[in-house]
Chain A
Amino acid sequence: MKILKTAKLETVFDRLADALELYVPMVRGPQSGFYSWKTYDEDYDDLMLDILNVYQPPKDIILPQTEKLYDFKQDGTEINLEEANEKVEKKAIFGVRACDVRSFDYLDKVFLTKGYVDEAYKARRDSVTIIANACYNPGTNCFCDSMGVSPTEIESADVTLREYGPEGYVWEVNSPKGEEITKLIADLLEDDEVQLPELKPFIRRINYEGVPEKLKDMFDHPMWDRASATCENCGICTYLCPTCYCFDIQVKSWGDEGYRFRCWDSCMYREYSEMAGGNNPRELAKERFRNRFLHKLQFFNERYGTPLCTGCGRCIVVCPSGINIVNIIQDIKEAETGA
């Protein structure tokens, strides 16, 4: 077994950051997320490898919240367009949990399959090496295994870290990209045989089986009134969700010039479904709420064969109204339908 000792972490980060853009989970001031190791400030930032996860998922590394597409400028009757041509550097994300790794698989389905490849997304996605961190100790609101995600066997990881104790991690290479990055730090790894911890039981569990099929007949079910009654219709759950990918195309212009950009959008916002002319097919808060759960639990499954939820539990932790997707799945399962 290749072993990475905790004491050597910072040396490994320095070495990797010399070769590529390295993102590491940190607490930064009042928030936590994956930030560039080059911006690490030991007086201000705190490494977050020894806890469950960071608040902000790594989604924005491959799908930035705001992304310029092209500049435009009018010159007489001509319009000149200039593509943004973002310079994509090689990246590695260190310490990603299984739920967040799986979210990349789901984003890949959206942006790379079914006959359309989003080139800007693909360039960023291809540039990323994922160094995952297996979970042996699920948190209070984790339910990844219920959504078909194994917290320890992480398919799309290039390297999987397995923390065997405070002293270090097993460094397990899973792909050619993983081999590539291992070469950069091979001399910092040690050979040893260690005992891996046992996976602790999950507190939250739910059985997703049958849910997408049952939802087909539940569009008008009264449970949506009850479940959505206290939803504030803010966008916290969508923006902190590792899998929510909806975006809008917007423009900013001044005088004869400007630029077009893509930015995250949230189905919780009224503007999201508003059409030219002012009609809104999802005018009511309940309709927007229902759409979010139907998309995650039914529509995405119909199109891609999997729910759009990896069980990371962030939405449960952050919802101001205490809305809980596990309870909603339970309500769906228990709901009486005409069928």
Chain B
Amino acid sequence: MIEMTKQIRATASKLLQDGQVDVFIAWEKGDLEYQTKPFFANSVDDVDKIIFDEYSIHNTANSLLRFRDSKEKIGIVAKGCDSRGIVRLLEDNQISRDRLYIVGVGCPGLKDPLQAMLYNSGFSKKTVTDELADKCLDCIQPNAVIYDEFIGEQQEPRAGENRFSKVTELENMSADERYSFFEDVFSNCIRCYACRQVCVACNCRTCIFEETKPQWVGRETSISDNMMYHLVRSSHMAGRCIECGECERVCPVNIPLMLINKKLIQDMSDLYGPYDAGMDYVEGRKPPLSVYQENDPDDFI
């Protein structure tokens, strides 16, 4: 990864120097060895701070939303999941391809800096482990799917046949057990909206949860408002979630959000697939629920 960092810096340096990009999105180190964080390099002087290491887990694609109304040209490092996020934004017309210079990477699977922070701060009895982040264990595409330049080696997907095993467990519960499971996990929600903010599929300019006239979802941290929030958000993810796992990773109360997303991914694949969102970019193509076709299955309505 040291070699990859060198190559990324060289590319960033060249792009910023030549004025091919105005900003280069990657990661930098925080002040702790296990803290890597998102970073925007604005000039050649910033390039030395860029790093790609075992904690470069944040989805860079989400950062592109900050630039959707401006004209900057943007360089961006993209792992497999990040690149699927870029495809999401391109399909959703949030940014145009010609503004981007994508440095694709093959991702060996990463560790979670948030978990390391938690385990090292005295806020947990657990201590640092050397394990890959949960989101990386279910990865179906570690390599960038869209890029102008590819750095590093192609990596093998890590998801095995267990990709949907937790969904199956959930499906095998009785309706009452399932309800009580969801009641339990959603009652913990503190409505910080971090899951929405880090989500590349959550790119609405005004979120339904911010609307006040009418107020679609109440602001109480009650089980009914919390469930409404998560139900509405997850249904907006159907066919659009690119499985980067950021929502679940950042959740401060560990709600198993990817379990819900995976159920929807499986359903979408069964109904309209096989389909996995953002696996390649075809100009003009839309995700399944963004289009209408006469032969769509409709027996569930």
Interface residues of chain A, those whose CB is within 8 Å of chain B, are 27, 29-32, 46, 48, 51-56, 65-66, 139-142, 229-230, 232-236, 238-240, 248, 250, 252, 261, 263-266, 269-271, 274, 285, 313-314, 316-318, 320-324, 327
Contact = CB atoms under 8 A, between A and B. Distances in A.
Top 5 A-B residue pairs of the complex, sorted by shortest distance between their CB atoms: A52-B122, A322-B37, A30-B254, A139-B122, A234-B194
Contact of B123 (A274, A317, A320): A317
B58 interface: yes
Nearest to B113: A322
Interface of B: 30-32, 35-40, 58, 62-63, 66, 113-114, 117-118, 120-125, 188, 190-194, 196-198, 210, 212, 218-222, 246, 249-250, 252-254
Contact of A51 (B113, B124, B253): B124
A32 to B, nearest CB: 7
Contacts, number: 134
B220 A263 contact: yes
B192 A66 contact: no
Contacts of B121: 52, 139-141, 313, 316-317
A54 B194 contact: no
Nearest to A263: B219
B115 to A, nearest CB: 10
Contacts of A264: 221
Interface of A is mostly: loop
A27 B126 CA distance: 11
Nearest to B210: A271
Contacts of A265: 219
Contacts of A141: 117, 121
Contact of A234 (B120, B124, B193): B193
Contacts of A51: 122-125
B38 A230 contact: yes
9 contacts: A30-B188, A51-B124, A56-B190, A248-B219, A263-B219, A271-B212, A316-B121, A317-B121, A318-B117
Contacts of A31: 188, 252-254
B123 A55 contact: yes
Given A51-B124, A239-B190, A320-B114, A232 B37 contact: no
Contacts of B219: 248, 250, 263, 265
Contacts of B196: 234
A248 B39 CA distance: 33
A261 B221 CA distance: 11
A265 B191 CA distance: 10
Nearest to B62: A232
Given A66-B221, A285-B66, A320-B194, 18 more contacts: A30-B254, A31-B188, A51-B124, A55-B252, A56-B190, A139-B122, A233-B197, A234-B198, A239-B190, A239-B252, A250-B219, A318-B114, A318-B118, A320-B58, A320-B250, A321-B58, A322-B113, A327-B31
A322 B250 CA distance: 11
B186 to A, nearest CB: 13
A85 to B, nearest CB: 19
A139 B32 CA distance: 13
Nearest to A135: B122
Given A31-B253, A234-B250, A235-B194, A53 B66 contact: no
